[in-house]
Structure 1
Amino acid sequence: MMHTTAAGTCPPLSAEHFQRQALLCQWLATLLARELDEPTLQAYLAGDAAPLLDWLAEDGLAAEARRLRQALATLSLLAQPRLELAADFATLFLGDARHCAAPYASCYLSERGGFMAEPAQRMAERLADAGVAPAEDFNEPADHLAVMLDYLAGGYRQLAETRTPAERDSALAGIGQFLRQELCSWLPAFSQRAARLAPASAFYPALAALTEAFCRHRLAEAETT
């Protein structure tokens, strides 16, 4: 996904703020769903990710945004950036769940650390209740991080459409509960696993750290409102 709107501040807890969070959730979900294709990679190398990273920096995630920005800047130093990034994606996210940074909640929250456990069932129920389903070309369990971030984006879009303080507070409480129970409960371990691996580029470890910090930041916002 590419977005080129100029970054700028927006009032906290405004419709614009929540729309921005939805967009950032979807961007992170896109990056975690599959390897970057060549056109998207070239767009990012040309600076198309800068506005999104600026938004994150404005919102208190300057260190994490700077780390991902620096990782993007060094991709051009790789002999074959797209192929080496694809190899990194496979190493970090598609390997043995016991040793890689598997992007599934079940691998961290279930008793045996396996796939398709209670977190996947809970997430599937959430999706069914919301009347949504993962894209047909994305054949992953419901507790894949990209699916969960896309669901969170939908929550922020709904939040942006609330009309009264009571509606906003109720919707924000629901988002806070989802973040606390279903994302922030395992993303630190996910980020730590990614940091321990040694891919060709720092891109995906930086992305994992940014995603964890973003969700933690959103939880703090929901709980202090």
Structure 2
Amino acid sequence: MLTAEQIACAYAWLAQLFSRELDSSQLAQLQSTDMVGWFAILEQEPSLSAATYELKAKIDALVNRPDARLELAADFCSLFLMSDKQSALPYASVYPSSGQDNTQIACLLFEAGMETSDVFNEPSDHLSIFLELLSHLHFSLNEPNIDHEKVRQLRQQTLSILLSWLPKFSHNCLRYDEFGFYGALSQLLLVLVQLDEQNQ
């Protein structure tokens, strides 16, 4: 069973990977031996093991991909920044099933005492904002004098909104990501969010 802190770290890590193209240091980090321990932690959770294994396989395959960083940047761009049909746009408002505009996530951020950063120049319904919020909520569970019921309610609301569109997003990632790194990453994210909802 993952701890609240480990789940918080997983959300923060995934938020970073979905927020922008990987730079050279992030790619090197993904391929480093430091990641072995992190993936071992994720694989301890039975529901995450298959998705983690698949992601590791895609990371291993990057070694044989010429200009891996540039190719991953192109994958990121075509999946998440294009508006054609063959993409997986990372915004809740794009998916009719979510019934979302930006006000609901903005309210949740306010309730949690968070603000969107000026550095991250994206609408507040971007996937990474949801993941940062969930990371924050999990970390806050370890703080003294925290209103656990309020945190639980905010988590529940955030997960509910996210799960109204994340399966479709993940499906599109798998469908349109030919190499499969972001497809595998989205699958790991989906099973993590589903696990988190079950453990409420």
Q: TM-score, with normalisation over the residues of structure 1?
A: 0.81
Q: Which amino acid in 2 is paired with 1:148?
A: F
1:46 matched to 2:32? The reply is: yes
* 1:25–1:97 CA distance, 2 compared to 1 (3 A): farther
- Structure 1 unmatched ranges of 5 or more: 1-11, 112-116
1:69 matched to 2:56? The reply is: yes
1:27 matched to 2:13? The reply is: yes
* 1:208–1:53 CA distance, 2 compared to 1 (3 A): same
Higher relative contact order (CA 8 A, sep 6+): 2
* 1:130–1:176 CA distance, 2 compared to 1 (3 A): closer
**% identical aligned pairs:** 33
Counterpart Cα distance in 2 of 1:172 and 1:98: 36
8 Å CA contact 1:25, 1:153 repeated in 2: yes
* 1:131–1:69 CA distance, 2 compared to 1 (3 A): same
Counterpart Cα distance in 1 of 2:151 and 2:107: 18
Counterpart Cα distance in 1 of 2:192 and 2:81: 23
Q: Deviations over 1:12-49 (max 9, x none)?
A: 58xxx111111111000000000111011112212332
Q: How is 1:170-209 mapped onto 2 (pairs within 5 angstroms)?
A: 171-180=151-160, 182-199=161-178, 201-209=179-187
- Structure 2 unmatched ranges of 5 or more: none
1:90 matched to 2:68? The reply is: no
* 1:184–1:118 CA distance, 2 compared to 1 (3 A): closer
One of 82, 95, 108 as aligned partner of 1:126: 108
Query: CA offset at residue 121 of structure 1?
Result: 1.6
Q: Which amino acid in 2 is paired with 1:89?
A: F
Q: Which of structure 1's runs of 4+ aligned residues deviate more than 6 A? A: none
How many pairs were matched up? Answer: 199
Query: CA offset at residue 163 of structure 1?
Result: 6.4
Q: TM-score, with normalisation over the residues of structure 2?
A: 0.90
Counterpart Cα distance in 1 of 2:191 and 2:97: 22
Q: CA RMSD in A?
A: 2.1
SS in 1 for 2:82: coil
